[in-house]
Amino acid sequence: MCPMATVSNNPAPSLRLLTRSIIVLALWLSSVAGLAGDWPRFRGPNGSGVADAQGLPVGFGPGSNLLWKTEAPLGSSSPIIAGNRVWLTGFKAHQLLVCCFDRTTGQRLWERTIEEARSERKSPPNDAASSTPVTDGRNVYALFSGLGLISYTSEGAERWRTPLGPFSQPHGMSSSPVLADGAVIIVADQVTDSYVAAFEAESGNVRWKRPRPNFVGGYSTPLVCGGQIVVAGPLELVAYAAANGQRLWAAPKMGVMPIGSPVCEGNLFYVNNGAVPPFEALAKDLKADRNGDGKLTPEEFPDPSFKEAVLAIDRVYGNGDGAVDKAEWDGALKLMQTLNALVAVRAQGTNSTELWRITKALPDVSSPLLYQNVLYLLKDGGILTSVNPANGQVLKRDRLEGATERYFASPVAADDKIYAVSEAGKIAVVQPGAQWRLLTINDLGEQCYATPALAAGEIVVRSSRTLWAFGNRGSQR
């Protein structure tokens, strides 16, 4: 007869080990699920502007589907999301800010203040906090033109800081950092001393740094694709190895001053190259022709970056007399018209092939969006164009009636919806497709320059004074 088994209140060691393993596995799975719904950098997962979020609202605003709102500091950088946290950078006077908010309630969990090392000239809406931070889910990394790189833990403890600059873009540094292969990548396309560099995420030390072509600056945030860092212009789309910065391939005949970021699908890349403004816009809007003689000279520009830009234009396209007049500037602009384009490129190994390019109705600032096998371009005036990514055929071009202002934010998409935020704070919601359809216009009533973040049924938007979170389960708070 077998003896009766005894029941113990203490589980056997093997059972305790199994229970612990199950708990660890559950925590790991939950963290992976959280990362899948994160928006960790400018334009979200890999800068695509596309999320896998579901249940996003169509109609929302200050009085409807509002989950929470909280005061936001000055700054034009975009919000990022990881786990239960939202991060934002900002500034006040000569202080730089990194802020962390609770994703569920909007409560400010912590704010860190850093003294600005210097003040650099910016063309609005660029400001002291133009660059969007990036996170790996555990730490956050921020780039400030007046300081350099700085990293904090998710609880707000400073990990390291790496001084950088000064920067010499004519309109101010606005490219955002990205993460690749355990490093923070930044691109500084300037009038002089342009470079792309990788900094160790654990220490902030330089891993590698590569010089880039100089001309009149660039403002594009790089793309990470299969161990490559893909950077738009000036004059070329180029890929570097994330591990060591080796130049892998390049596509020529790109624009001189890119702003929007490239997008990719596999080995296909789509990039919108920025345009150089006509002489009248530079002379009058930016008040560059101070004495009204119809010429731009280095002495008329208060910032060294602009002085170098004038000399560069005169050297490459002018008569070399040290000044640029309307004929020289617009003659150079005419020569560059074919370079200002949306270009499709296929990269294979060390080779690249241009597939097609279009030159009309190009975005002024915003990046292209590739969603559900259709490319979208958003131009000032609310002009939205859908394009066949296979051949560049324009499928539909029309205005977002009711939101025809300027657009600095890039369009984003998820849940069979496209969101486009205008400077006036109007958010157009579009049903995607070759023959896209405008669903509604939502109005925040505040200016907006930041690209929204989409995650887990929520859209998080930064306006001039407020950080908002909207969702279908929301009500006014």
At position 61, the amino acid (one-letter code) is G
What radius of gyration do the chain's Cα atoms show? 24
Provide the residue type at 361 as one letter. A
- Is residue 3 included in any domain, yes or no? no
Q: Is the Cβ–Cβ distance between 408 and 423 less than 8 Å?
A: yes
Number of Cβ within 10 Å of residue 475's Cβ equals 9
Whether residue 299 is found in the same domain as residue 372: no
Residue 75 in domain: yes
- Token pair, residue 401, equals 């009636």
Task: Decide: 436 and 430 in contact? Cβ < 8 Å.
Answer: yes
- In this prediction, residue 281 carries a pLDDT of 59
Asked, for residue 334, whether it belongs to a domain, the answer is: no
Three-state SS annotation for 404-434? CCCCCCCCEEECCEEEEECCCCEEEEEECCC
Cα–Cα dist 396/380, whole Å:
16
Secondary structure of 127-191 in HEC code, one letter for each residue: CCCCCCCEECCCEEEEEECCCEEEEEECCCCEEEEEECCCCCCCCCCCCCCEEECCEEEEEECCC
Asked whether residue 295 falls in the same domain as residue 352, the answer is no
Pairing of strands 374-379, 383-387: antiparallel
Q: Are residues 286 and 217 in the same domain?
A: no
CATH of the domain at 402: 2.130.10.10
Residues 126 and 199 reside in one and the same domain: yes
- Tell me, yes or no, whether 401 and 321 share the same domain: no
Last residue of a domain, one of 290, 306, 329: 329
> For residues 232 and 219, what is the distance between their CA atoms, to the nearest angstrom?
9
Report angle CA 407, 167, 190 to the nearest 5 degrees: 70
Peptide bond preceding 302 in cis form (omega within 30 of 0): no
CB-CB neighbours of 252 under 10 Å: 11
Domain carrying residue 96: 32-275+340-471
Residues 289 and 269 in one domain: no
Distance CA 272, CA 260 (A): 6
CA of residue 301 relative to chain centroid, distance: 28
Instruction: Tell the residue number behind the tokens 């695509």, with chain if given.
Output: 48
Whether residue 358 is found in the same domain as residue 455: yes
pLDDT value of position 233: 79
Say how many C-beta atoms besides its own lie within 10 A of residue 214's C-beta: 17
Residue 331's H or E segment, with its range, is: helix 326-336
Instruction: Identify whether 227 is part of a domain.
Output: yes
> Is 193 contained in some domain?
yes
* pLDDT tens-place values along the chain, 477 residues long: 333 332 233 334 343 433 333 333 333 333 333 344 799 999 999 899 999 999 999 999 999 999 999 999 999 999 999 999 999 999 998 999 999 999 999 999 999 999 999 888 778 888 999 999 999 999 999 999 999 999 999 999 999 999 998 988 877 889 999 999 999 999 999 888 999 999 999 999 999 999 998 767 788 999 999 899 999 978 899 999 999 999 999 999 888 778 899 999 999 999 998 655 556 655 555 566 777 777 777 777 555 555 666 776 777 777 888 888 888 777 766 666 667 889 999 999 999 999 999 988 899 899 999 999 999 999 999 999 999 999 999 999 999 999 999 999 999 999 999 999 999 999 999 999 999 999 999 999 999 999 999 998 999 999 999 999 999 975 444
Query: What is the pLDDT at residue 123?
Result: 80
Residues 385 and 459 in one domain: yes
Give the Cα separation of 399 and 359 in Å (integer): 18
Place of tokens 């040290």: 322
214's tokens: 């100089």
How many separate domains does the chain show? Answer: 2
Q: Is residue 17 part of a domain?
A: no
Residues in the chain: 477
pTM for this structure?
0.84
Q: How far apart are the first and last CA of the chain?
A: 70
Q: Is residue 12 part of a domain?
A: no
Distance of CA 271 to the CA centre of its chain: 14
- Is residue 256 located within the same domain as residue 137? yes
SS3 letters across 266-306: CCEEEEECCCCCCHHHHHHHCCCCCCCCCEECHHHCCCHHH
d(CA 359, CA 228): 27
> In terms of domains, do 51 and 176 share one?
yes
The SS3 assignment for 348 reads strand
Is 234 found in the same domain as 91? yes
> Does 389 share its domain with 409?
yes
Determine contact, residues 290/296, Cβ cutoff 8 Å.
no
22 located within any domain: no
